[in-house]
Chains A and B, each alone.
Chain A
Amino acid sequence: MALLEVKKLGISFGGLRAVDEFSIKIEKGELYGLIGPNGAGKTTIFNLLTGVYKPTDGSILLDGVDITGKSTIQINRAGIARTFQNIRLFHNLSVIDNVKVGLHNHYKYSAGTGVFRLPKYFRTEKEMNKKALELLKVFDLDGEAYLPASGLPYGKQRKLEIARALATEPKLLLLDEPAAGMNPNETAGLMDTILTVRDEFGVTVLLIEHDMFLVSGICEKLTVLNFGQLLCEGKTGDVLSNPEVIKAYLGE
């Protein structure tokens, strides 16, 4: 059974059909790419998958469970985490606290326990700190754990966003243009990180990207979107040599 199965997903904003009859099937452990020209509807699909927008038609199945029309919070608990195209960190919180917010639903104690500093508070906080530092270490951020998130350089902010998403222990990780604004060196580092995330955490990854170096380098399968509609899908090599894809997106 596929981890994510989307059937004939569609959404209209007034008269605009932003996404139409979009279907995708992602197997567990795959590294899947979603590409297409600007305005094709890629981020809209992410917003549909994470419950930011409610689809007008179609269905989304995660691990066999129907999550169509569920709220963002429910979908996150079901196992989808994401990053954003324009980085959305908790800027005034420290790096480690950003990750600890991600751990929120897995390490619990009540508000009263926190206010009155009951033993459970210290126990849980200790576990959270340990887990958060482990995660930060994977992304080479453990040295900056107690700095404010806004003080991190751009590339590290992107990494922190991925770390925060992973803290929610997702089955499926959605990355929205992870390499945007990165130089070639940073991109190469990011590719390693994404592979590590997939292999070490056993997370399936779906990513939107314009950087063809990254896409051809790590994605195993691709779906190309154009004007809200599916243009082509299949193995990365086949898709990138498809004449229609070249015409619509890559350029001749």
Chain B
Amino acid sequence: MKKKISPMTRKSFVTYGLLLIVFIAVEIMMNTGNISSMLKGLLVPVCVYSILAVSLNLTVGILGELSLGQAGFMCIGAYSSAIFSNLVKDTITQPLIRFPLAIIIGGICAALFGILIGIPVLRLRGDYLAIVTLAFGEIIKNVFAALYIGYDSTGLHFSLKSQGDLGLGADGKMIINGALGISGTPNDSTFEIAAAILFITLIIAYNFVNSRTGRAVMSIRDNRIAAESVGINITKYKLITFGLTAFLAGVAGVLYSHNFYSLQASKFDYNMSILVLVFVVLGGIGSIRGSVIAAVVLTMLPEYLRSINNYRMLFYAVILIVMMICTSNATIRNFFVHNFEKLKGLIFKNKSKTVKEAE
């Protein structure tokens, strides 16, 4: 008998394959110079948003809780790693050593905050959880917007008041300048690294879902009371998921901050969190591959609509609404699925014939 591959494993390998194909295609385009500068500039953000969407899907789709604090965790990852990179950029000049360290630091800082915030917050459910996470996201953003950090020969200086309050020496340098944000972060994010991290994120997400821990988390989503009755520790698994989501969001933040020379905390407002939630909902709650596809399409779309400048956001909104209706309406979805099956039938016709003949 042929060894049975579980549907979950097959799904994950199809996603890895698709990503690999796209990656190779983009690499070929880049090396042959067939790529517009606009698309080139979008490559890292596309990966960043895909990672964010996949990580949020773990909380929204797998755990079944609505979290709107994604931008806050991203902000922590972005800032903590940017501070690190700014401090060590003169001592560790090799980006291949510096950047992985920054990624780990950013991810761990975000995960720590995720767990710290998760302990009180995860007692809430549904709308209440959404509101509180939204508030935490805004608090994180505003704290960073008011933060001043600089360093000189005597060490690091912190302040929440003003640049002058830091009391930097003559050789002092600013790292975070309040609302003006961070500047001078080394541009370590490349498409290759971002794609590799997206790939790792997908592996983590699929392996997480398809493991003992993932099953426990999904059992909580499906029926909390029954999960408790078979001895599943609900708080523990909620925290693990929330922590993992925060970790991956933090990593996305690292990629994001190392893609720009300067970065303001105001970028990480609730619009960002909502945007990521839109990717998750549009891609299909619980569908990891869908999250990536939605993130890619919806990140590129506004840029390609730039040619119709004034009407850009109008078109974006209309397309979004149409896509939402198409994916949530059963009749329309069945129409697509039906035609897709037909197409598949046409392509694989010869193959199925040979199988029949063999029998």
Contacts and interface: CB of A to CB of B under 8 A. Distances in A.
Interface of A: 50, 52, 72-73, 76-77, 81-82, 84, 88-93, 97-98, 100-102, 104-105, 107-109, 111, 113-117, 121, 124-125, 128, 146, 164-165, 167-168
B219 A76 contact: no
A111 B222 contact: no
Interface residues of B, number: 28
Contacts of B207: 114-117
A104 B225 contact: no
Contacts of A121: 211
Nearest to B235: A73
B19 interface: no
9 contacts: A76-B229, A76-B230, A92-B286, A93-B219, A101-B227, A115-B204, A115-B213, A167-B230, A168-B231
A77 B231 contact: yes
A116 B218 CA distance: 19
B225 A52 contact: yes
B203 to A, nearest CB: 8
Interface string B261-287: 000000000000000000000000010
B229 A81 contact: yes
Contact of B231 (A88, A90, A105, A128): A105
A134 to B, nearest CB: 17
Contacts of A82: 229
Contacts of B208: 111, 114-115
Given A101-B232, A104-B216, A104-B232, A115 B211 contact: yes
Interface in B186-241: 204, 207-208, 210-216, 218-219, 221-223, 225-233, 240
Interface string B146-175: 000000000000000000000000000000
A89 B223 contact: yes
B228 A73 contact: yes
Given A90-B219, A104-B230, A168-B231, A114 B7 contact: no
B91 interface: no
A165 B222 contact: no
A190 B261 CA distance: 69
A215 to B, nearest CB: 24
Nearest to B213: A111
Given A81-B230, A168-B231, A88 B225 contact: yes
B339 interface: no
B32 interface: no
Contact of B226 (A89, A108, A115, A125): A89
